[in-house]
Amino acid sequence: MIVLGIETSCDESAAAVVEDGHRIISNVVASQAEVHARYGGVVPEVASREHLQTIIPVVETALQQANVSWQDVGGIAVTCGPGLAGSLLVGVNAAKGLAYAHDLALIGVNHLEGHVYANWIDDPSGRPPSVLPSLCLVVSGGHTDLIVMEDHGRYVRLGRTRDDAAGEAFDKVSRLLGLGYPGGPAIERAAAGASSGTVQLPRAWLRGTLDFSFSGVKTAVLQMMRGPAPPPAEVVAAAFQEAVVDVLVAKTCQAAGELAVAEIMLSGGVAANSFLREELARRSPVPVRAPLPRFCTDNAAMIAACGYFHLSRGERSGWDLDVDSNLKFAA
Ligand code: KG4
Ligand code: ZN
């Protein structure tokens, strides 16, 4: 079955054509990062207006690049939450209109579940599909969740952030260091050429839980930069990246050791970070799976992959499908 995926939850307008939940036929992402960069972060009103202008051309390009017609498409999967309400609305209404016009099945997808399904997308290594149950670390701009995926559609949350999400911390610290937006890639680049040396930043262990907290390390960076002798931005970036990755990796490995999972899956925008990928692979007691970096950050291929599994189970959304900016994932 060929599924058209549509994603507009934040600042990328994306559409993708994916076969059987794993084979990408086309994948188009129109990023608004440049538009928002001058404000140092995403401006919701600007984001929804940009989505309005780009979503139909992006869908048409995805179909053209895939060389498929509407007759070949079996269903439309669209992100319905969580995310920016005004942005989500553009994608959901486009999906509804297209599904109605072409008489196609419609399925609303949770953005975070979509991130997990980036791990089902084929990669050049030809590795076999995920083995379930699997432990999944979802690290994005808005969420940091440690989840057990017991089966398709069955999730149990073990821990989450109590304050800032990991990606949010990267973005805020990047702004503090004057490294720009989006912060994750900027910090990774700055840290690549630097050593944290003697700069030490605190780690919030929250012992006895699998929860996270990243606001303390952010405040420590703020105080350090306002102090009498602030270290170079690259050095602080390296120390910050080390502190965040240390906690993410330690807690994920601890959970993997306690549970009988066959592997760890990494997902969400922060999963594009090479240092996180390398450290987790190095310290994990079980094999680690991560999507190719371009499928870690927001894209519609992961939404189509996730939607395929829902549609295959006979699930459908009605014409009353609505957006939910706080849509929950895993209880
Ligand atoms: O999943 P995503 O694309 O959007 C959300 O669902 O939030 O994640 C975006 C987040 C941003 O905070 C961004 O700074 C972070 O992922 N990110 C990274 C990297 N690439 C993106 N963080 C660290 N290292 C990266 N290479
Ligand atoms: Zn995302």
Model pLDDT for residues 31-49, shown as the tens digit of each residue: 998 999 888 889 999 999 9
Closest to 305 measured CA to CA, from 81, 136, 154, 118: 118
Q: From ligand 1's centre to the CA of 51, what distance in Å? A: 19
Rounded Cα distance, 235 and 197, in Å: 7
Task: Please give the span between the terminal C-alpha atoms of the chain, in angstroms, as a whole number.
Answer: 30
Cβ–Cβ < 8 Å for 102, 95? no
- Indicate whether residue 113 lines ligand 1 (CB < 6 A): no
Residue 182: nearest ligand to its CA? Answer: 1
Q: What is the mean pLDDT of residues 261-279?
A: 97
Evaluate: CB of 159 within 6 angstroms of ligand 1: no
CB 298 less than 6 A from any atom of ligand 1: yes
| Residue 181 pLDDT grade (very low, low, confident, very high; cuts 50, 70, 90) | confident
Ligand 1 in contact with 308 (CB < 6 A)? no
Per-residue pLDDT tens over the stretch 49-72 = 999 999 999 999 999 999 999 999
**What is the model's pLDDT at position 221?**
98
Work out the mean pLDDT of the chain and round it to a whole number. 96
Please name which of 187, 140, 204 lies closest in space to residue 167, comparing C-alpha atoms. Answer: 140
In this prediction, residue 272 has a pLDDT band, given cuts at 50, 70 and 90, of very high
Task: Name which residue leads in pLDDT, 127 or 166.
Answer: 166
Residue 242 C-alpha to ligand 2 middle, in angstroms?
A: 22
331 pLDDT more than 80: no
Question: What pLDDT, on a 0 to 100 scale, did the predictor assign at position 128?
Answer: 81
Please work out whether the CB of residue 81 comes within 6 Å of at least one atom of ligand 1: no
Centre of ligand 2 from the C-alpha of residue 232, in Å: 30
**DSSP-derived 3-state class of residue 118:** helix
pTM exceeds 0.95 for this model: yes
- What was the pLDDT predicted at 142? 95
Ligand 1 lined by 268 (C-beta under 6 Å) = yes
How high is the pLDDT of residue 130? 84
